A and B are shown apart, each in its own frame.
Chain A
Amino acid sequence: MSNATNPILKVDGLTVDFLSDDEPVRAVDDVSFHVSRGETLVILGESGSGKSVSTSTVMDLIDCPPGDIVAGSCLFDGVELSGLGAEARRSINGSRIAMIFQDPLAYLNPVYTVGRQIEEVYESHGAGAGKDARAKTIELLRRVGIPEPENRVDFYPHQFSGGQRQRVMIAMAIALKPDILIADEPTTALDVSVQAQILDLLRDLQRETGMALIMITHDLEVASSMADRIIVMNGGKVVETGIAKEVFSNPQHAYTRRLISALPHGNAAEAPNRRSTTIAGKTLLKVEHLTKHYVLASGAFSSKRTFKAVDDISFEVRRGETLGIVGESGSGKSSVARMLLGLNAPSAGKAVFAGENIFEMNEKRLMAFRRKVQMVFQDPYGSMNPRMRVYSIISEPWVIHRDILPKNRWKARVAELLELVGLLPEHADRYPHQFSGGQRQRIAIARALASEPELIVCDEAVSALDVSIQAQVIDLLADLRTRLRLSYIFITHDLPIVRHFADRIMVMKDGKIVEEGQTSALFGAPRHEYTQSLLQAVPKPKWLTQAQ
C-alpha cells in the first residue's frame, strides 16, 4: 500500500522557533517525515509536542514572526515548498493540500452559509462559480452525509450538529480532490459514536480518491485505528517512528511505552485497578425520580413544548463509593450534576443527602450542604479567577465558611493541601496561568478538598487533559478516596476512562438511565444496546480490522 520510494510529501529536518518575549522557543526540532498517496500517517503527541506546528508549516499557516522556520525542507510532489512565492503557495492550499481542524464551530465562519464557504473553494481556485459551484457543493454535501443537502446548503454553521459541522469541513477540504488531507485532531471535540462515523468517512474518502492522509492526534485509539505508519512526537522532537502495528505492539522509546501503558482501555488484566478497596458504607446520597424539564417555546398561538433534559432518574451513592455517570453530549448528565449542587432547581423529584432533601433546604442549610459537596469542572482554567493567587483560590472556601479553620492556620493548611495533591507549598504564591492543565486540575481538587467535603462531583474532570496526565489525576483521585474516605460522582462521556476507577456505572441517554450496574458486569456483558454501541464505537486497531 505505501509507496515509500516516491512519497508525495517529504519533510526533512524541519526546525521551527517561536519568538516569545525574551528568547526563541524551539517548537519543532529536526522533524522529518514522509507520506505517500493512499497512505495514512499519524502524528501522535500530547499538547505542546509540536505536532500541529509541523503540519501548519506545510500549509504556510505559521505567521512569521512570531514563527521562524530555522531549517528544513518540505518537498511536495518534487517541488520545494519554501522556495515558492505566496501566490503559488496559495494555489496549492485547498486544492492540492487541504486541512481540517479540531473544532469545526470555531473554524467555520459564523456569518456565511456553509454552501457559500464551500463554493469559495471552487471560486478561488478557478474550478467553478455560480450555479456550477453550487451544484458541485450540494453533491459534495450529499457525499459526506449531510441529509437534504439541497436545503441545508443555505444553513449557517450554528444550525448544524458538531458531527455535521465536521462533515462540512471535510467536504470543504476534499472539494478539489487534494493529494494530501491533513486532519488536525478532527474528532477530539466529538462524542465517541460520532467520532466513529467521521473516522469511517475519512477512511472511505481515502479509498475513493487515493489521497494521502496525515492525521494529528493525541488519542492513541484513534491513532491505532487510522495509522499505516506513525510518528510519535514529544517536546518538539520525533521520538519514535515506524509501522503502526509494530510501534503499538513493541514500543521502543520510553515515552511511547509510557503513553501506551497510560491507555485506560488497554488490556484489562494489565491495567492497574483504581476502584475503591473499602467496602462501600451507608447511603450518602439518595436521588429519587429526579426530573428537569425546559420549556422551549410558549407563545400565545403555539402550544407549550418541553424538553426533558433529565427524565425521572433514581440512584444512590454510598460512602466511599465512586459512581460513574456516562453519556454523550445532551444525555442530561451535567444537568444532574447541576441540580445536585443546587445550581439548578429540578422540575420534580428529590435528592436526600445525609437524611435531608437538598431541594427543600433553606439558605442556611444549603450553605452547610454545599460545604459537604464539592465540584471539579472540566476546564480548571475557566473555573478559576485568573487574577487570584493559588493561595486565595484554595483558601476562599474558608472565607465563606468561617467555622472550618481559624485564619492563623490557613497558610499551613494550604501548603498541606498542595502537598496532598502532589504540588509544592511554594506554588501558593503563583497564578493559575503559570501552571499546566494537569497541575491546574490538581489545584481545583485542592480547592474542593479545602471545605472538607464528603462527596465530590467531577464533571468531565479529566476530559481536557492529555492521556498520561489523565491517568495521574485519576490515580490522585483514587488515592484521596482511600485516605479521606470520599465519595465521587464521576461524570464523563468517555466510557473506558471510568473502567478502572468507578465502582458502579450508570449509562444515560436522552435524560434516562439506560443501564446501571457494577463496573465489571457492565463492561463484561453490557445488556443495553446503547451501552454496547458505546463500547463498540471505541476505535479498534487498523491491523486487526483489516485482518478480518
Chain B
Amino acid sequence: MITYLGRRAFHSILSVIGLLTLVFFLTRLTGDPSALYLPLDSTAEARAAFARLNGLDQPIYWQFLEYLRDLLQLDFGESLRQNRSAMQVALEAFPETLKLAAVAITLSTALAILVGSLAAARPGSMFDRVASLVSLAGASAPDFWVAIVGILVFAVGLGLLPTSGTGTWAHWIMPTFVLMLRPFGLLVQVVRGTMLSALASPYIKTARAKGLPRQKIIFGHALRNSLLPVVTVAGDLATSLVNGAVVVESIFGWPGIGKLMIDSIIQRDFAVVQSTILVTATAIFILNIAIDLLYAVLDPRIRY
C-alpha cells in the first residue's frame, strides 16, 4: 500500500516535470510578450530593455535551465500582467474552480446514481424512457449554448438570476446547472448500463432466493457492484472540471483557473500559464490516486 502510493507519487512527479517542459517550450512558440506589453511605437532599445528585464533575451535552453533552477527554490516566476508571484495568482483562482467543480460533480453523480438505478430497476418503463431521453439530451447539448440561452432567459429576460460574477448563492445556480448537464447525462447512461448487467447477475438471484427486500437488492447488492465503472467515468469528468471549465467560467465571468489560463495564454503571461498548469496537473494526479484508492475500498478483490 505505502510502496504503491510511493510509486504512484514518483511516477506523477516525473509526469509533471515532463508536462512542464512541454508547456515551457510550447508557450514560447506563441510569440514574444514584448509585442503585447509595450506600446506599438516603442523603440528597439525599450524592447531590448523589457526583454532583458524579464530574461527573454537569453537563448531558450538557458531560459529553461533558469526556470528549472527557480522551480527547485519554489520560485514560480512573476506575472507580467499583475506584477506579483505567478503562483499566488494561480492559487487564488484555483479554489473558485474547485468549489464549482466539487458541487457540480457531487450533485450530478448522486442524482445520476438515483435516476440510473431506478431506470435500470424497471427497464422499458415510462420512467426509464424519460430518463434516457433527458440524459441523452444533457450529454449532447453544447454547454456554451445552454449557458447563453440560460443568461438570455433567466437573467436578461426574466431577471431572476444574475448574468455573471460571484457573490450570492444566486450566482451559483446557472454555472452549476450548466456544468452538471454533461456529467449527469453521461453518468445516468453508465449507471443504467452497469446496473442492468448487475441486476442480471447470479448473485442477484441469490439475493432474491434469500428473500431480501427489493430496495436492498437494488441499492445494496446491485448498485455496490456497479459503482466501479461509475467511479471511473465520474473521475474522468471531475478531471475535466478541475482543469477549469474554460467556456463556462468565461461566459459567467467566474474567476476560476480556466478563465485565468485562457486569459494568460492570450496575454502571453508565461509564468502564470506554467503555474496554473502545475496546480491543475498536481490536483489531477492527486485525484487519480484517490480514485485508485476508492477502487480498493469498493471492491475487496482489488488490493495494491
Report which A residues bind B (CB closer than 8 A): 59-61, 90-95, 98-99, 101, 103, 106-113, 120-121, 124-125, 156, 158, 169, 172-173
Interchain CB contact under 8 A, A111 and B299: yes
In chain B, residues 216-235, which have Cβ atoms closer than 8 Å to a Cβ of chain A?
216, 221, 224-225
| A169 vs B205: C-alpha distance when bound (angstroms) | 12
Say whether A156 contacts B301, CB under 8 Å: yes
Q: How far is the CB of A357 from chain B (nearest CB, A)?
A: 40
- Which residue in B205, B212, B224, B299 is a CB contact (below 8 Å) of A101? B205
Q: Nearest chain B CB to A19's CB is how many angstroms away? A: 13
Contact partners of B210 in chain A: CB under 8 A:
93-94, 98, 120-121, 124, 172
Question: Which A residues touch B213, using CB under 8 A?
Answer: 90, 124
B residues 249-297 near A (Cβ < 8 Å) are: none
* Residues in A neighbouring B207, C-beta threshold 8 A: 109, 120
Q: How far is the CA of A103 from the CA of B202 in the complex (A)?
A: 9
- A91-B211 in contact (CB<8A): yes
Q: Decide: A120 and B205 in contact? CB cutoff 8 A.
A: no
**Any A CB within 8 A of the CB of B298:** yes
B205, B206, B216 — most chain A CB neighbours (10 Å): B206
Chain B residues within an 8 Å CB radius of A169: 206
Per-residue A-contact encoding for B183-219, CB less than 8 Å = 1, 0 else: 0000000000000000001110111111111001000
The CA-CA distance from A121 to B208 in the complex, in Å, is 11
Closest residue on chain B to residue A158 by CB atoms? B301
- Asked whether, in the complex, the Cβ of B203 is within 8 Å of the Cβ of A59, the reply is no
A residues in contact with B300, CB < 8 Å: 110-111, 113, 156, 158
Among A107, A113, A158, A173, the one with the most B-chain Cβ atoms within 10 Å of its Cβ is A107
In this complex, what residue of B is CB-closest to A118?
B210
- Contacting pair A110 B208 (CB below 8 A): no
Q: Is the CB of A124 within 8 A of B211?
A: yes
Additional pairs, 8, CB under 8 Å, beyond known A109-B224, A110-B301, A124-B212: A90-B212, A94-B210, A98-B210, A99-B209, A101-B205, A110-B225, A113-B300, A121-B211
Taking a contact as CB atoms under 8 Å apart, the answer to whether B211 and A93 are in contact is yes
How many residues on the B side are at the interface (Cβ–Cβ under 8 A)? Answer: 20
Pick the residue among A60, A92, A107 that contacts B206 (CB under 8 A).
Answer: A107
B227 CB, nearest partner CB in chain A, Å: 9
**CA of A112 to CA of B216 in the docked complex: distance in angstroms?**
13
* CB-nearest residue of chain A to B199: A63
Residue among B205, B210, B225 with the most chain A CB within 10 A? B210
Which residues of B pack against A, CB within 8 Å? 201-203, 205-213, 216, 221, 224-225, 298-301
| Majority SS at the chain B contact face | helix
Contacts of B205 in A (CB 8 A): 61, 101, 107
One of B201, B208, B212, B224 near A120 (C-beta < 8 A): B212
Which chain A positions have C-beta within 8 A of B208?
59-61, 93
User: Quick check: B221 and A109 within 8 Å, CB to CB?
Assistant: yes
Residues of chain A within 8 A (CB-CB) of B201 are 106
Q: A111: which B residues are within 8 A, CB to CB?
A: 224-225, 298-300
8 Å CB contact of A106 from B202, B212, B299, B301: B202
How many whole Å from B223's CB to the nearest CB in chain A? Answer: 10
Nearest CB on A from B254, distance (A): 39
25 contacts between A and B (CB under 8 A): A61-B205, A92-B211, A94-B209, A94-B210, A98-B209, A99-B206, A99-B209, A101-B202, A101-B205, A101-B206, A109-B224, A110-B300, A110-B301, A111-B299, A112-B221, A112-B224, A124-B211, A124-B213, A124-B216, A156-B301, A158-B300, A169-B206, A172-B206, A172-B210, A173-B209
How far, in whole Å, are A114 and B202 apart by their CA atoms in the complex?
16
Q: How far apart are B83's CB and chain A's nearest CB, in angstroms?
A: 51
How far is it, in angstroms, between the C-alpha of A169 and the C-alpha of B209 when the chains are bound? 11
Q: Which residues in B have their C-beta under 8 angstroms from that of A124?
A: 210-213, 216
- Nearest chain A residue, comparing its CB with the CB of B221: A109
Shortest CB distance A316–B (Å): 42
Residues in chain B near residue A156, CB distance under 8 A: 300-301
* B145 shortest CB reach to chain A, Å: 40
Complex Cα distance, B300 from A124, in Å, reads 24
CB distance from B75 to the nearest CB of A (A): 37
B225 touches A109 (CB 8 A): yes
| CB atoms of B211 and A94 under 8 A apart | yes
Bound CA–CA A108/B211 (angstroms): 15
Please indicate the chain A residues that have their CB under 8 angstroms from the CB of B301 in the complex.
110, 156, 158
Given the known A-B contacts A124-B216, A156-B301, A158-B301, are A108 and B203 also in contact in the complex, defined by CB atoms under 8 Å? yes
B224 and A59 contact, CB distance less than 8 A? no
Contacts of B221 in A (CB 8 A): 109, 112
In whole angstroms, how far apart are the Cα atoms of A370 and B215 in the complex?
Answer: 55
Q: Which residues of chain A are near B212, meaning CB under 8 Å? A: 90, 94, 120, 124
For B209, B212, B298, B299, which residue has the most chain A Cβ atoms within 10 angstroms?
B209
Complexed CA–CA distance, A101 and B204 (Å): 12
